[in-house]
Structure 1
Amino acid sequence: MTALPAPPAGSLAEALARRIAVEGPISVAAFMAEALGHPRFGYYMKQDPFGAAGDFVTAPEVSQMFGELIGLWCADTWQRMGAPSPVRLVELGPGRGTLMADALRAAAVLAPFRAALRVHLVETSPALRERQRATLAGVDVAWHDRLEEVPDGPALVVANEFFDALPVRQIQRTPQGWSERLVDRAEDGGTGFRFVLEAFGSAGASLVPSTLRDAPPGSVIEVSPASQAVARVLAARLAAQGGAALLIDYGYVGPAVGDTLQAVRRHTHVPVLEAPGDADLTAHVDFAALAVAAQAAGAAAFGPVTQGALLERLGIAARAAALKRTATPRQAADVDAALARLIGTDQMGTLFKALALAAPGVGAPAGFEDQTHQQRTAP
């Protein structure tokens, strides 16, 4: 057999090729984990990908209104919790720190709440930690690699576009049954990668929900054990120590069929397996799976509701009107454009959804009244 050409030296492609040579084809989840989080070559570990000059724009970068309303949501939820002091304000995957800066500014309107806050950021990227440190200059912040490292105590946890970057496994229906999709070296003599199916049986078949087992050949389902594990850890903490969490991301209420894995570079979709480590990889979040995992760990789950509905219930229209009262015509137009982007049904308003988790007894947080998640029977 002719040996395949080696990928570029000192690259993630080279590291993945070596791993595949030793282990054989790897899962999509393993490929995704390395592409995003490899200590040296991982996408998030080596750069700041946010904003117009980066690869994508998140809601906090669209407008200050988003983070401000999150801050007010936290203040209101803190009061519903009985106003514990101190309370941990934790953000998972805090990007540039923009959301946290806006949330803290809004939190200052309730002085006892701001005084009670202890800020914790869960961030593994050295590059992004430096950007967060600059954004939050003057704020006492503690950084952690994992949620489990945050000190004990009541907590308010925010995760915006965090779960979409956690690895997913993909299982595909074939005429012979369900088989896990894997990543292998390209077979055409190139230096790239290709999707293959597990050849002999598949442990991934056990992940297929019973309601989808008869899906037609060619169907793909995605399961994120990593996301469910984080949801369980978070929920167990809330149940035992008190608090609530707000999870916002793009996704759906599963179980469902669909290949949602995508790669984005410079605001453009690119092939998923092209140039690992140089493009953002994400998959849509199954909010039902997160809710079920959280409920199994002892927390109450509310929603999901659409991002548009949540922001409207939290008063984004009134906040936009307030900003426009002292704005120039150009600034007012920017506020209107940002509002449309955040809540519009053809933009972020419907695709993005929000799920709230809370310790038993806290009740439904603001924006989630009468939205208790109905737990499904496990497949």
Structure 2
Amino acid sequence: MNAAIDSPLRTAFGPLRSPAFRRYAAGQLPSITCSWAQVVALSAVVVALDPTALGWVVALQFVPTLVLGPWCGALADRVDRRTLLMAAEAGLGLVAAAYAVAAATGRLTLPVIGVLAAVWGIVNAVDTPARRALTPQLVPPAAAPAAAALSGTLLLLGMTVGAALGGLLVPAFGAAVTFGVNALSFLVDVAVLASLPIGPSPRTPRAPRQIRDGLAHVWRTPELRRPVVVLAAVATATFSYQVSVPVLVPEAGAIGAALAVFTAGSLVGTLVAATRGRPSTRTAAAATGTLAAGQLLVGVAPALALPGLAVAGFGWSMLLMTVVAQLQEAPPDLLGRVMAVFAVVLLGAMTVSGPLAGWLAATWGATTPFLVGAVAAALTAGALAARARTG
């Protein structure tokens, strides 16, 4: 193999040489896959009950991160991250089981969905910083950026397969079976996490101002503040796919296909990001511009929605992996809190973008959220490109 090609590939897949990372990946993939089958099932159920409610259901899943995210990040720095993640995964499995029971007994009403979505969000607020902070512990320090990119690859591979699986399971067996399969997948993940060949994670003793210190560190460090601001601007306007896609194509099979295409594009983008080494402002500008182009294609030509979603997914994942890699360069004793800021910004933006997309679609048509996102992403890409030129 050509050395110029071999080196990026060795960098991208280097984390797989770590037994701990390989085992972690093997446990994550079925859990992510089944979780995204559940996304399709839940979207189809809510759209059938009331399409305008979907944005609020998605928001309920993310509001807890806005409130609890910084505290959960501090928690991930204070306790063993693997133990914390195992508890969170078990909690998510119990929520999935509750969805399955409610659906099987005909009690999956909008109020019940709202309660379960909020509980899911509370547990996920713990899960996200613990997972992001655990990943660098599984590989040598030099391989941490590639491990972040490969983790994103696993996420997107699972999302792609899971969305397609949901599009098949829901029409064939119903939402209850899909929820039940997801609940079982978390048992596998917890067992794999328990078997990881790693020691205890670094712990920061409890002390006053820890949460504020983590937030302050991000804000006073330009290399961390800049990607957080970019992520907030872009995610608020664009990352509403759990709402905008089901509203655009409301049938379960079509939802699964559309989300699978989006995540397949994201998967390619993550693989490309993994081969590019250290992230840069220029990379972020190119990724955001690509996202804008994909959003625009869906907005102006709905018949080309699938290719447009693939392009948007590619750009979105390139941007997200760039942001994650930049933030994971934070000091190890602050990493949990820094990644909690990431979770707060990303999921907080999605808390706004879901209801916003639902309102835009109901008021001006199903393609409007994509057009608004295209404008926001294009403006951000221009600002990033200008900064890259000035150094």
Q: The TM-score by the shorter chain falls in which range?
A: under 0.3
With a CA cutoff of 8 Å and minimum separation of 6, indicate the structure with the bigger relative contact order. Answer: 2
The TM-score with structure 1 as length reference comes to: 0.24
Of Structure 1 and Structure 2, the greater helix share is in 2
TM, length-normalised to structure 2: 0.23
